[in-house]
Every structure is written in structure tokens, then in C-alpha cells.
């Protein structure tokens, strides 16, 4: 490497010249863009995070109905808020391993029914008190209570007994679960003093930032938690979440520097933003997916030939290109992709095949009456366009698919999980077991495809308690095959998390778990 390039690199890492300037000069010196980026990332890491300043995030998905009670978080801004002030027992890293936070380690009995978490010593809450094992137990208990209306109720319900012993938390499960530590990373399970029973929305936690101002649906202002236990997080002095639900305003705020990062960049404008000064697009291949769901217990979808016909009648490549602007990957009619641990990548990819679709359609003996697909923009961005593309490709195969537009208001109560065939979306879950248990187990509340398959349920429960990874992977593969060939799920695409970040932000890591670096962008990034 030339002396000049080295010098430039150092300057860029220290933030004295912008990343863009560095890339330009590096290109002039004959270094490829990819190489220059790698060099810069390495140099920036070596230089170490810079402390201080204020970082602002513009977020879609916040309402004036939001609360600071971590149990009630459901949309994007409250999720990010929880991750910024709260600390869980563990997090999940971008590569799918456990990142121990309040728990220092976790171990289980041989049959995975009893789990022990060792609580890290001396972790301090924002109010100065210390995190104890009792707090952890009280927190989990609060989330198991129906009255708390916790979004994590389904996760903690399987814990039959919990107790604190010194700095240990012992959990006994009703049935074996080898994934339990991963479940503790759920963003609702913020450890609170006394479990947050007295005042759930006090906003006192052990995270890298403490809440200073909370205006629901408007903004959340944080200042650094001085005694945070981990020096690898909490670089800026202050961080702020601004709720900007309008796409255009959020993008303009990023471009004008009013915010440093934004979630949910519209795929249609991602390509345009790439050319904008001072801004870059970060696309993280994730676990979230856009789907069309058929209820397997309602005609004509109670006939597997009809389901197969529709699965072959959708053009996945076209959807990824036109709906996601290329920022995503094709799906294969089961909700798991390579972002998950123990994914079987040998399962054959299903493709658009009008001939096969016609064959299955004829075999189903459908009377030729229109098949109604309900859709609305509430389902996912571009759901109306996607449904129309689907209808066109199905009609080309001779299937009378018709699109019916539904209003956004009430979509999740009147259409989803009610109508026999509609558009919808799923965020991912940290592990396969949780994804399948949430929506494909016969008894699941959110079994929105009304999929009831005894063999599938049996495999799911067996895999849950299986500590041998090879066997487990095999079981998950079998389940994927069952769902792909018999389920009511049509999964054309996995969407990337597409986010806009200003060049002065360093430390960004793409994380497949959830958007905005799994909600940790504010506490892990710094101003270069």
C-alpha cells in the first residue's frame, strides 16, 4: 500500500476526511471500491469507536398510543426504544450466536428441561441499584401474567417454574427446549428492577442509554448510562429516536442531516438514494418475509392440489425484482432461510411453472369460479402490486385468480387470520423452533394458514428437545419439506432490512435478526 493511501486511510478512519472522499481517492489510486471499503472498515476498527456527540434515528412505526412498558412494544419505534434503554439476559449476534448480556452464561440439564442462567455481577440500573437474580425472575413472572398483555407471553408460557438462587436463575420447562436462551433475547424481556411490577412504564433498565424524554409517537430522548457494564456500546453522549412515519419526510430528514439513520427505506427509492451525497444504503438479508396465506380448512384451499397449483403459479424472481427492487431473496414456501441456524440449503427451489400449475389446478377439480385474493397496503409495502403480479402470472396458467382490495384500517382484525386467502407478512424469529411454533403448530394462536399436520407437530416437539445438532437439522429439514409441499403458505420473497445511514456514522453492522442492527444501532454506532 502506498504511503499516500495509508495516510488517507488514517485520516478517513479518524473522520478527518469523509468516507466518500477516501473512496474516491482510493479509486484514483487504483484500489477497487470493495477493497477500499474493507480497508476503511479495518482501519476504523483499529482506530476504535469515537465517543461523544448526539445520534438521531428517524423511525417509521411509532404512534401516540405507545407506552414505555416493554411488554407492550409492538411496532418499530417501541422495539428500538426497548433495545436502547433495556438490557435482556442475552442478545443474538448477527451470525446467530448468543451474546451474553445480563446473563454471564447459560447451561441446561441433559434433557434440556432445566436451564440455569448465571447473572453477571455488578450490572447497574439507571437508578443506581444493582441487577439481581430476583429481578430477572420477577421480570419473567410479570410477562407470564395474562394481565401484563406481554408480547412475549407465548415465549415464557412454557416455563413451569422459575426461582432465584444467589446469582443463579433456574428455569424449569414444561417440555424440553434446546433453544431457550435464544428465546430470552426477545425484545419484550427487558430486565427491570423488581420486574417492573410496580411501575412497568418507568423506563428504568440496565441498557446503554437511559430515557430522558418520552413523547409517545413523537420522540424518545436518551442520555448515556454512565455506569454501563460494556464499553463496546454507548459511544454517543446522547441518542434520540424521532418518529417520522411518512416515507418522504423521513428520507428528506436523512438527506438533510436532521437524522443520521432511518429504517424502512422504500425499495423504489433505494436506488435513487445510492447516488445521494453523504448517505449510504445498508441492506441486511433478514428473516422477515412477505407472504400469501391460504387457510387449509376452507374451500377451495382445503385441497392440496389447489394449494400446489397456486404455489407454482407465482413468479418469485419477478416479485423480488419488482416489489423489493432486488433488495431481497426468493422464498421457497417455508418460513426459513439461510439466516437461520440449522438451515438445510439442499431443499429444491420452487420456480414459476405455468404448465405444472395448470396440471395441479385441473387435478383439483375446481369449478372455475374466481379465487379471491385479499390484499391491502397494510399487509406489506407493495402488497397490492404483488397481488396483481400474482394474479397475472396465475391467469397465464389458466387459474382464475382475482384481487380484492381491503382497507388498511382493520386489516389485521378483519382480513388477516380471517379471510381464506390474503396477503400478509412475518418478521423473523431468532430460531427455527420459534418461527414454526408461532405460526405452524396446529395449536398456535397465530396459525394463520390453519395448518394442522400431526407429523409436523411431532417433529417440531422432538426437535425442540433435541440437543444433537445433526439430528435436529434433519428434523427441521423434514418439517420444511412438509410445509413446502402441503402447507397453506405461499412465500415468494424474503425482504432485506433496507436502511439509510449517513456517512458520518461508523460501526454499522448488518444484522439479519431485526431491523436497525437488531435495534442496537443507536447504542453500537458512533460518530466518525
Partner 1 sequence: MHPILKLVIQRLALGLLLLLAISAVIFLGVEALPGDTAQAILGQSATPQALANLREQMGLNDPALTRYFHWLGGVVTGDLGKSLTNGTDIATAIGQRLGNTLFLAGCAAVIAVPLALTLGLIAARYAGKWPDKLISAVTLTTISLPEFVAAYFVIYLLTQVFPIFQPVAMVFPGMGFWAKLNAVALPVIVLVMVVLAHMMRMTRAAILNVMQSAYIETAELKGVPPMQVIWRHAFPNAIAPIVQVVVLNLAYLVVGVVVVEVVFGYNALGQYLVDHVTKRDLPVVQAVGLVFAAVYIGLNIFADVVAIIANPRLRHPK
**Rounded Cα–Cα distance for residues 426 and 444 (Å):** 15
State which residue, 149 or 349, has the beta carbon closest to partner 1.
149
Print the binding letters for residues 62-91 with partner 1: x by CB under 8 A, - otherwise: -xxxxx-x--x-------------------
DSSP string, 21-42: HHHHHHHHTT--HHHHHHHHHH
Q: Which of 118, 141, 170, 219 binds partner 1 (CB under 8 A)?
A: 219
Q: Which stretch binds partner 1 (CB under 8 A): 5-13, 141-149, 229-237, 316-324?
A: 141-149
**Rounded Cα–Cα distance for residues 437 and 455 (Å):** 14
Confirm or reject binding of residue 158 to partner 1 (CB under 8 A): no
Confirm or reject binding of residue 212 to partner 1 (CB under 8 A): no
State which residue, 151 or 328, has the beta carbon closest to partner 1.
151
Q: Which of 54, 252, 372, 403 binds partner 1 (CB under 8 A)?
A: 252
Find the angle CA(63)-CA(76)-CA(100) to the nearest 5 degrees: 135
Count of Cβ atoms closer than 10 Å to residue 255 Cβ? 17
Supply the DSSP symbol for 124.
B
* CB-neighbour burial class of residue 252 (10 A; exposed 0-12, middle 13-18, buried 19+): middle
Q: Which of 244, 284, 336, 342 binds partner 1 (CB under 8 A)?
A: 244
Omega of the bond leading into 300 within 30 degrees of 0 (cis): yes
**Rounded Cα–Cα distance for residues 513 and 443 (Å):** 25
Cα dist from 182 to 49, 70, 433, 492, whole Å: 28, 18, 10, 27
Q: Which stretch binds partner 1 (CB under 8 A): 15-23, 161-169, 247-255, 342-350?
A: 247-255
State which residue, 44 or 59, has the beta carbon closest to partner 1.
59
Count Cα atoms within 13 angstroms, Cβ side, for 84: 32
Closest approach, Cβ 378 to partner 1, in A, equals: 10
Of the candidates 429, 428, 437, the one whose C-alpha atom is nearest the C-alpha of residue 177 is 437
Answer positive or negative: Cα dihedral of 12, 517, 469, 88: positive
Q: Which of 248, 338, 349, 442 binds partner 1 (CB under 8 A)?
A: 248
Closest approach, Cβ 238 to partner 1, in A, equals: 14
Closest approach, Cβ 199 to partner 1, in A, equals: 10
Closest approach, Cβ 252 to partner 1, in A, equals: 4
Closest approach, Cβ 386 to partner 1, in A, equals: 23
State which residue, 66 or 523, has the beta carbon closest to partner 1.
66
Closest approach, Cβ 111 to partner 1, in A, equals: 31
State which residue, 35 or 418, has the beta carbon closest to partner 1.
418
Q: Which of 230, 246, 297, 298 binds partner 1 (CB under 8 A)?
A: 246
**Rounded Cα–Cα distance for residues 44 and 33 (Å):** 16
Closest approach, Cβ 229 to partner 1, in A, equals: 30
Confirm or reject binding of residue 255 to partner 1 (CB under 8 A): yes
**Rounded Cα–Cα distance for residues 338 and 480 (Å):** 13
Q: Which of 241, 243, 296, 480 binds partner 1 (CB under 8 A)?
A: 243
Show contacts with partner 1 in window 257-286 (CB under 8 A). Answer: 258-259
Q: Count of residues binding partner 1 (CB under 8 A)?
A: 35
Confirm or reject binding of residue 144 to partner 1 (CB under 8 A): no
The per-residue b/e assignment along 441-474, b for 16 or more CB within 10 angstroms, e otherwise, is beeeeebbbbbebeebbebbbebbbbeeeeebbb
Q: Which stretch binds partner 1 (CB under 8 A): 182-190, 246-254, 334-342, 386-394?
A: 246-254
Of the candidates 322, 452, 313, the one whose C-alpha atom is nearest the C-alpha of residue 371 is 313
State which residue, 250 or 311, has the beta carbon closest to partner 1.
250
DSSP string, 262-321: ES---HHHHHHHHTSTTEEEEEE--S-EEEEEE-TTSTTTTSHHHHHHHHHT--HHHHHH
Confirm or reject binding of residue 256 to partner 1 (CB under 8 A): yes
Find the angle CA(60)-CA(62)-CA(67) to the nearest 5 degrees: 155
Confirm or reject binding of residue 217 to partner 1 (CB under 8 A): yes
Confirm or reject binding of residue 447 to partner 1 (CB under 8 A): no
**Rounded Cα–Cα distance for residues 164 and 166 (Å):** 6
State which residue, 242 or 520, has the beta carbon closest to partner 1.
242
Show contacts with partner 1 in window 405-424 (CB under 8 A). Answer: 409
Applying CB under 8 A, the residues found at the interface with partner 1 are 58, 63-67, 69, 72, 146-147, 149, 153, 201, 213, 215-219, 242-246, 248-250, 252-253, 255-256, 258-259, 409, 445
Amino acid at each position: 500500500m502506498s504511503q499516500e493511501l495509508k495516510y488517507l486511510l488514517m485520516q478517513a478512519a479518524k473522520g478527518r476526511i469523509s468516507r466518500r472522499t477516501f473512496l474516491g481517492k482510493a479509486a484514483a489510486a487504483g484500489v477497487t471500491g470493495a477493497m477500499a471499503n474493507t480497508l476503511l472498515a479495518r482501519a476504523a476498527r483499529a482506530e476504535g469507536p469515537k465517543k461523544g456527540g448526539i445520534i438521531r434515528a428517524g423511525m417509521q412505526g411509532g404512534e401516540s398510543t405507545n407506552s414505555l412498558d416493554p411488554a407492550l412494544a409492538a411496532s418499530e419505534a417501541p422495539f428500538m426504544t426497548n433495545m436502547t434503554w433495556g438490557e435482556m439476559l442475552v442478545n443474538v449476534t448477527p451470525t446467530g450466536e448468543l451474546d451474553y448480556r445480563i446473563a454471564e452464561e447459560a447451561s441446561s440439564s441433559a434433557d434440556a428441561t432445566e436451564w440455569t442462567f448465571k447473572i453477571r455481577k455488578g450490572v447497574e440500573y439507571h437508578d443506581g441499584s444493582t441487577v439481581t437474580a430476583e429481578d430477572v425472575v420477577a421480570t419473567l413472572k410479570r410477562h407470564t401474567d395474562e394481565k401484563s398483555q406481554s408480547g412475549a407471553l407465548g415465549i415464557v408460557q412454557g416455563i413451569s417454574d422459575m426461582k432465584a438462587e444467589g446469582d443463579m436463575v433456574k428455569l424449569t420447562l414444561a417440555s424440553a427446549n434446546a433453544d431457550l436462551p435464544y428465546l430470552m433475547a426477545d425484545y419484550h424481556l427487558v430486565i427491570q428492577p423488581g420486574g417492573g411490577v410496580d411501575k412497568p412504564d418507568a423506563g428504568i433498565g440496565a441498557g446503554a442509554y437511559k430515557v430522558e424524554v418520552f413523547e409517545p409517537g413523537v420522540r424518545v430522548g436518551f442520555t448515556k448510562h454512565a455506569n454501563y457494564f460494556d464499553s463496546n456500546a454507548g459511544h454517543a453522549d446522547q441518542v434520540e429516536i424521532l418518529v417520522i412515519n411518512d416515507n418522504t419526510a423521513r428520507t428528506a430528514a436523512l438527506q438533510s442531516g436532521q437524522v443520521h439513520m432511518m429504517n424502512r427505506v422504500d425499495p423504489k427509492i433505494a436506488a435513487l438514494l445510492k447516488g445521494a451525497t453523504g448517505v449510504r444504503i445498508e441492506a441486511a438479508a433478514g428473516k422477515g418475509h412477505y407472504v400469501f396465506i391460504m387457510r387449509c380448512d376452507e374451500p377451495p384451499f382445503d385441497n392440496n392440489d389447489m394449494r400446489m397449483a397456486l404455489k407454482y403459479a407465482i413468479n418469485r424472481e419477478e416479485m423480488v425484482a419488482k416489489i423489493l427492487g432486488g433488495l431481497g431473496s426468493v422464498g421457497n414456501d417455508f418460513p426459513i432461510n439461510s439466516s437461520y441456524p440449522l438451515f438445510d440449503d439442499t431443499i429444491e427451489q420452487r420456480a414459476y411453472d405455468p404448465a405444472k400449475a395448470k396440471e395441479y389446478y385441473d387435478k383439483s377439480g375446481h369449478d372455475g369460479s374466481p379465487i379471491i385474493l385479499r390484499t391491502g397496503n397494510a399487509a406489506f409495502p407493495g402488497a397490492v402490486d404483488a397481488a396483481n403480479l400474482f394474479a397475472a402470472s396465475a391467469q397465464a396458467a389458466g387459474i382464475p385468480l382475482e384481487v380484492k382490495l381491503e382497507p388498511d384500517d382493520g386489516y389485521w382484525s378483519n382480513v388477516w387470520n380471517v379471510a381464506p386467502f390474503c396477503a400478509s407478512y412475518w418478521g423473523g424469529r431468532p430460531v427455527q423452533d420459534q418461527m414454526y411454533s408461532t405460526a405452524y403448530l396446529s395449536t398456535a394462536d397465530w396459525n394463520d394458514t390453519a395448518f394442522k399436520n400431526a407429523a409436523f407437530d411431532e417433529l417440531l416437539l422432538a426437535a425442540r428437545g433435541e440437543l444433537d445438532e445433526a439430528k435436529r437439522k434433519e428434523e427441521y429439514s423434514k418439517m420444511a419439506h412438509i410445509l413446502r409441499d402441503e402447507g397453506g403458505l405461499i412465500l415468494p420473497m424474503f425482504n432485506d432490512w433496507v436502511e439509510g445511514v449517513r456517512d458520518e456514522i461508523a460501526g454499522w453492522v448488518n444484522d439479519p435478526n431485526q431491523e436497525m442492527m437488531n435495534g442496537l444501532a443507536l447504542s453500537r454506532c458512533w460518530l466518525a
